[in-house]
Amino acid sequence: MGIYANYAATAPALSEAVARELKEYLGGLHLNAGRNFEGLEAGAIALRARRAIGTLFGAADPLRVIFTSGATAALNMAIQGLVRPGDQVLATSVEHNAAARPLEDLRERGVIDLVWLPCAQDGSLDPGTLRRAIGKTTRLLVMTHASNVLGTLLPVGECFRIAHEAGIRTIVDLAQTGGHIPFALDETCDAAVFAGHKGLGGLAGAGGLVLGKSAAAAMRPWILGGTGSGSHSLAMPEFLPDKFEPGTQNTLGILSLAASVEELLSIGIETIRERDRSLTSRFIAGLRGLRKPRICGTGDPERSVAVVSLTIPGCDAGELARRLFDGWGIITRSGLHCSPLAHKTAGTFPGGTVRFSFGRGTTEAEIDAILEAIADL
Ligand SMILES: Cc1ncc(COP(=O)(O)O)c(C=O)c1O
């Protein structure tokens, strides 16, 4: 592979330790949790992953960690499970389609009233915008922690405080910040959604959500079915995690999360954050030395994750990405990045941007090589 600069889409490789553990598991028996005695191992793997993820995201009870196929399924589950007919829902104007589409669908079907909170062109949000938007029927706030297009961090702590004071439930999308930025659920929010295959360093097909205590009780299950528990009844069990985990789980994906999140915890999220910040600073400083690229987003590594979108006036974003790949083997992502809302906010719709995103394998030498390539374009 050339230079991989698309970590916001997915981490391109498992760490050696995680890969080793998965290989060992694949050489043994694969039984499902809760269905037979031997399946206890799968349940133990899930508990190990719940403990690591609960620690990472500040949930005191590991049973409030619920596994799904990814952040998209988890957002659908949290939104559908928490809204009630007639609710007004607030969401930001930089949400990913994983949140925006289920919300728009509920609005179109007349279930909810939906208000998009306008972010500034660089993706930042003034908490005053939220305060002014809250009305008598507002019941839910959906917010991404960071824009997957602009990298901009949103003030989730302050916004969730405002929302909770007004009796509004909160959902945060941690797809871009999980494993990169510290987050503490129990102090801040009702439901925190994570993707397993990005900053958490696990396999694709495993993700989930971490629920606050009262949200776990209030939320209705979105997918219903067999759990191997309470089988005499046609109703879903009320206890966790079974209430939200029917069907056979992705044990391999969950094991990848257990191993990778334990590894992240031993490295320390602050250490990872510091490295992200330093790589992003180097990239932004280099871009500023060039005449043509226009940085979308804050251009401030303190206020963003390691995601930088740019445009070059007069050049098509797809064409730029193709030339970077053909000429230098640089892998980026161009276009609208599943977030037309963020591009409308940034003024880059419908043309889109070229997005560079960095992660654990990124080196300073790679950042310099990318900058040289952009200068030569
Ligand atoms: C902010 C954000 N939310 C949700 C998702 C969806 O994640 P997944 O494809 O793992 O379900 C992504 C993926 O790019 C994302 O960036």
pLDDT at site 41: 82
Closest to 2 measured CA to CA, from 17, 16, 14, 12? 12
What is the rounded distance in angstroms from the CA atom of residue 126 to the CA atom of residue 163?
14
Boundary of a domain, candidates 215, 235, 267: 267
Ligand 1 centroid–CA 175 distance in Å is: 5
Indicate the average pLDDT of the chain: 96
Strand ranges in the chain using DSSP code E only, listed in sequence order: 3-4, 65-68, 88-92, 113-117, 138-144, 169-173, 191-195, 207-211, 294-296, 307-311, 330-331, 333-335, 353-357
Ligand 1 centroid–CA 196 distance in Å is: 10
CATH of the domain at 257: 3.40.640.10
What is the rounded distance in angstroms from the CA atom of residue 333 to the CA atom of residue 5?
8
Q: pLDDT-based confidence at 72, cuts 50/70/90?
A: very high
pLDDT at site 169: 98
What is the rounded distance in angstroms from the CA atom of residue 272 to the CA atom of residue 277?
9
pLDDT digits (tens, 9 = 90+) for 194-252: 999 999 999 999 999 999 999 999 999 999 999 999 999 999 999 999 999 999 999 99
pLDDT at site 39: 64
Ligand 1 centroid–CA 72 distance in Å is: 6
Shared domain for 218 and 310, answered yes or no, is no
Asked if 311 and 149 touch (Cβ cutoff 8 Å), the reply is no
pLDDT at site 360: 95
- Nearest C-alpha to atom 7 of ligand 1 is from which residue? 71
Task: Locate the ligand 1 atom nearest the alpha carbon of residue 147 and give its number.
Answer: 1
Tally the domains of the chain.
2
pLDDT at site 29: 73
Average pLDDT over residues 187-193: 93
Q: Which residues pair with 4 in a beta bridge?
A: 331
Range of the domain at 67: 16-267
What is the rounded distance in angstroms from the CA atom of residue 285 to the CA atom of residue 102?
38
Shared domain for 172 and 159, answered yes or no, is yes
Task: Locate the ligand 1 atom nearest the alpha carbon of residue 10 and give its number.
Answer: 14
pLDDT at site 334: 97
Average pLDDT over residues 90-112: 98
Helix, strand or coil, per DSSP, at residue 275: helix
- Residue 336 Cβ inside 6 Å of ligand 1? The answer reads no
Lowest mean pLDDT among 40-49, 101-110, 168-177, 276-285: 40-49
> Residue 70 pLDDT more than 80?
yes
pLDDT digits (tens, 9 = 90+) for 227-243: 999 999 999 999 999 99
Average pLDDT over residues 36-65: 90
Query: Which of the two residues, 65 and 186, has the higher pLDDT score?
Result: 65
Shared domain for 29 and 65, answered yes or no, is yes
- Nearest C-alpha to atom 15 of ligand 1 is from which residue? 175
pLDDT at site 40: 72
> Residue 34 pLDDT more than 70?
no
Ligand 1 centroid–CA 299 distance in Å is: 22
Q: pLDDT-based confidence at 95, cuts 50/70/90?
A: very high
Shared domain for 249 and 297, answered yes or no, is no
Average pLDDT over residues 114-138: 98
Ligand 1 centroid–CA 235 distance in Å is: 31
Task: Locate the ligand 1 atom nearest the alpha carbon of residue 204 and give its number.
Answer: 10
Q: pLDDT-based confidence at 1, cuts 50/70/90?
A: confident
What is the rounded distance in angstroms from the CA atom of residue 19 to the CA atom of residue 103?
37
What is the rounded distance in angstroms from the CA atom of residue 318 to the CA atom of residue 324?
10
Asked if 22 and 252 touch (Cβ cutoff 8 Å), the reply is yes
pLDDT at site 186: 82
Boundary of a domain, candidates 220, 239, 267: 267
What is the rounded distance in angstroms from the CA atom of residue 123 to the CA atom of residue 343?
9
For ligand 1, mutation pick of 7, 144, 148 (most atoms within 8 Å of CB): 148
Ligand 1 centroid–CA 16 distance in Å is: 24
pLDDT at site 307: 98
Query: Which of the two residues, 186 and 143, has the higher pLDDT score?
Result: 143
- Residue 252 tokens read as 């391999």
pLDDT at site 216: 97
Shared domain for 93 and 167, answered yes or no, is yes
Boundary of a domain, candidates 237, 267, 297: 267
- Nearest C-alpha to atom 16 of ligand 1 is from which residue? 148
Q: pLDDT-based confidence at 42, cuts 50/70/90?
A: confident
- Residue 174 Cβ inside 6 Å of ligand 1? The answer reads no
CATH of the domain at 317: 3.90.1150.10
Shared domain for 126 and 210, answered yes or no, is yes
The helix (run of H) or strand (run of E) holding residue 241 is: none
Determine whether 105 is exposed, middle or buried from the number of CB atoms within 10 Å of its CB (0-12, 13-18, 19+). middle
Shared domain for 44 and 151, answered yes or no, is yes
For ligand 1, mutation pick of 10, 152, 176 (most atoms within 8 Å of CB): 176
Closest to 273 measured CA to CA, from 308, 302, 309? 302
